[in-house]
Structure 1
Amino acid sequence: MSDEAYVTDRIKKGALFGAFVDGQLAGFIGMHAEGGIGMLFVSPEYRRRRIGMALETYMINLGLERGERPYGQVEIGNDASKGLQETLGLCFSRGRIYWMERDGRE
């Protein structure tokens, strides 16, 4: 995420969660402003330890506990994320889904 203001907003709203190993931040995941799960990142030295799976499972369970229908988006070509979603047993849309939103200026 390159938009520092957006990430700061997500932190302030309690929508960003971290995973720690021996007191070190190993990765994080969050809820986007529109409600989708995303922003998943695991530091290279902590990859292949199922931290991404644990973070995403946490977010899915959190959404279910809140009575929400958890969802996320995978960018075309992000095979690692697609593989994680498949491992978790998540479903994919049959086609591409496009999001449109106002930029706040009316």
Structure 2
Amino acid sequence: MANIIGNNIKTLRDGMGFNQSNIARFLNVDQSLISKVEKGERILSADMLEKLACLFGVSVDAIEDSAIEASSLSFAFRASDLSAEDLEAISAINRIALNSEYMAELLKG
């Protein structure tokens, strides 16, 4: 399971154009932890998985799924070096979009 999650995190991270340092800064951990997670050598806490899910615009279940789709919610942005605050803002926007999609599904039926 750890390897599936690690592979999915790498896929999503690459798909959004983030590097391991961006993710480490966002989670307030060392970059080596992100590398080990992606290799399946370490696992993340549930809180960290939830933060990453919001950042990537997917559900936690999607990160844990063996058949993750590389596409996620995405917004265009241009920056050479994203700060932790920038990533928090992206995460907040994605969380709003995910909640909106969820509410739309509830209203359908």
The TM-score normalised by the length of structure 1 is 0.26
Q: Greater CA radius of gyration, 1 or 2? A: 1
**Which structure is richer in relative contact order (CA contacts within 8 A, separation 6 or more)?**
2
